[in-house]
């Protein structure tokens, strides 16, 4: 693990009393350190010096370890009374933390491990980047043209799903006179009203829980709904219901590829319901965008994407349970804006966004990517 020489952190944790309205929290020095070095995450663990993620790697700050007692003094002033209750009752709490006058926003997870406090926080840009600034495929724009249906962003934690969705929501808001409603835990990006106006509800702050928020959502005359993570049966069924009733719904899920997203959703339900869920997906799913973040050459991190758009062929495969054929089907429809990770990685290397070694590390099938670098195309077999 590398060490970052950050001199301003040597006297990080002086004795702390309750902050006055004019006095900034002591922990904000650490958040500002992350901002200064353009790191993506801040990690704090009792008995360790502060750590941050730089260009994908965890590095220790050249500073003394933080004791458990000092960690309490450092972190507890961040918590609102409701957050403190959740931490005490459940052992962990998620919330947003804003630096200055919305100068920078962080998504915070504070939790207990081995009886002591820890914190992991993701830096969220206060501005919402465009598709071009993010380096997303051109076909992302076309996905924002749907009037209804479900669009899912798939990827592991830290893959940039939230940023991509924010860019899509902002794109719609700039162009359409609509009502956009987001339900988040916690709110990450704050949107500005443009042609569309946007209401953002945070679980635990604006509404008691997901069930209440999603029940209310369809009664609030939205055109577009962001439901955050499709984490359980309840949120998925609410998302599908909203899509069926004429709304464009965005959600995220933890899945490694566009095709594996289908099985990830089915895993939420008992086998007896899989047929009905497949039918609901075939009828309402518009697209799956899978995403990974890799080290870039022109910027610290760059996304690689796999895009599956639900055309008649994809719809038939989902309905009939032919998930193993979805990956090959994506290859058949590059001209329709679909792309798999292999082709997208080849494009990123060719355009100088990343190098071959990094691309091969993230490739689902490195041998196929090597062939693609040589200009050898592997034809998709017959699908139907």
Q: Is residue 384 part of a domain?
A: no
Do the strands 51-54 and 57-61 form a parallel or antiparallel pair, or are they unpaired? antiparallel
Before 186, cis peptide (omega within 30)? yes
Q: Is residue 32 part of a domain?
A: yes
Q: Is residue 242 part of a domain?
A: yes
Q: Is residue 369 part of a domain?
A: yes
pLDDT at 20: 45
206 and 242 together in one domain = yes
116 and 135 together in one domain = no
Q: What is the mean pLDDT of the chain?
A: 91
Residues 168-172: contacts with CB under 8 Å, at least 24 apart: 168/140, 168/143, 168/144, 168/250, 169/198, 169/224, 169/226, 169/250, 170/128, 170/194, 171/130, 171/131, 171/141, 171/144, 172/144, 172/196, 172/224
CA 19 to chain centre: 32
Whichever domain contains 189, its CATH number is 3.40.50.300
What confidence tier does 382 reach under pLDDT thresholds 50, 70, 90?
A: low
- Partnered with residue 153 across adjacent β-strands are 252, 289
186 and 63 together in one domain = no
152 and 74 together in one domain = no
324 and 212 together in one domain = yes
116-160, pLDDT tens digit by residue? 999 999 998 778 999 999 999 999 999 999 999 999 999 998 899
The residue-averaged pLDDT of 222-239 equals 92
pLDDT at 282: 97
Number of domains in the chain: 2
Q: Is residue 383 part of a domain?
A: no
Out of 124, 139, 166, pick the residue that ends a domain.
124
> What does each C-alpha distance from 330 to 42, 171, 205, 311, 381 come to in angstroms?
37, 25, 41, 10, 11
pLDDT at 9 over 80: no
Q: Is residue 340 part of a domain?
A: yes
> What does each C-alpha distance from 191 to 10, 170, 273 come to in angstroms?
37, 7, 37
Q: What angle do CA 65, 76, 189 make, to 5 degrees?
A: 100
The closest alpha carbon to 250, from 264, 235, 262, belongs to 235
Asked if 215 and 151 touch (Cβ cutoff 8 Å), the reply is no
87-126, pLDDT tens digit by residue? 999 999 999 898 988 788 899 999 999 999 999 999 987 7
144 and 120 together in one domain = no
31 and 78 together in one domain = yes
Most confident region among 178-187, 199-208, 353-362 by mean pLDDT: 353-362
Q: Is residue 380 part of a domain?
A: no
pLDDT at 309 over 90: yes
Q: Is residue 222 part of a domain?
A: yes
18-47, pLDDT tens digit by residue? 444 457 899 999 999 999 998 999 999 999
Instruction: Give residue 41's domain range.
Output: 2-124
> Which residues, in sequence order, are CB contacts of 195 under 8 Å at separation 6+?
173, 174, 175, 176, 177, 178
Predicted TM-score (pTM) of the model is 0.81
pLDDT at 362: 96
340 and 229 together in one domain = yes
pLDDT at 33: 95
Strand order in the sheet with 149-154: 197-202, 179-184, 224-229, 248-253, 149-154, 285-295, 301-309
95 and 136 together in one domain = no
């Amino acid at each position: 693990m590398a060490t970052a020489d950050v001199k301003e952190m040597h006297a990080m944790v002086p004795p702390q009393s309750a902050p006055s309205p004019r006095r900034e929290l002591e922990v904000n020095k650490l958040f500002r350190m992350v901002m200064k070095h353009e790191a993506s995450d801040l990690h704090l663990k009792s008995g360790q010096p502060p750590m941050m993620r730089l260009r994908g790697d965890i590095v220790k700050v050249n500073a003394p370890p933080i004791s458990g007692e000092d960690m309490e003094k450092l972190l507890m002033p961040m918590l609102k009374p409701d957050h403190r209750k959740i931490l005490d009752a459940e052992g962990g709490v998620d919330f947003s933390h804003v630096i200055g006058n919305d100068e920078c926003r962080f998504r915070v997870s504070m939790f207990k491990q081995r009886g002591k406090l820890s914190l992991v926080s993701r830096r969220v840009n206060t501005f919402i980047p465009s598709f071009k600034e993010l380096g997303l495929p051109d076909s992302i724009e076309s996905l924002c043209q749907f009037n209804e249906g479900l669009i899912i962003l798939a990827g592991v934690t830290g893959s940039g799903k939230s940023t991509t969705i924010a860019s899509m929501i902002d794109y719609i808001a700039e162009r359409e006179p609509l009502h956009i409603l987001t339900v988040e835990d916690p709110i990450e990006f704050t949107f500005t009203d443009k042609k569309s106006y946007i209401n953002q509800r945070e679980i635990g702050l604006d509404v008691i829980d997901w069930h209440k928020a999603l029940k209310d959502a369809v009664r609030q005359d939205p055109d577009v709904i962001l439901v955050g993570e499709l984490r359980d049966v309840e949120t998925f069924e609410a998302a599908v219901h909203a899509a069926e009733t004429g709304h464009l719904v965005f959600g995220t899920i933890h899945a490694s590829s566009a095709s594996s997203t289908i099985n990830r959703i089915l895993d939420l339900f008992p086998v007896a319901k899989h047929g009905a869920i497949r039918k609901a997906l075939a009828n309402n799913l518009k697209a799956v965008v899978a995403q990974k973040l890799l080290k870039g050459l022109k910027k610290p991190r760059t996304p690689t994407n796999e895009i599956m758009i639900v055309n008649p062929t994809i719809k038939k495969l989902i309905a009939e349970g032919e998930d193993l054929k979805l990956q090959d089907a994506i290859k058949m429809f590059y001209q329709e804006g679909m792309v798999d990770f292999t082709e997208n990685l080849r494009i990123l290397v060719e355009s100088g966004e990343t190098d071959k070694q990094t691309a091969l590390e993230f490739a689902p099938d490195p041998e196929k990517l090597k062939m693609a670098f040589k200009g050898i195309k592997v034809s998709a077999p017959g699908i139907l």
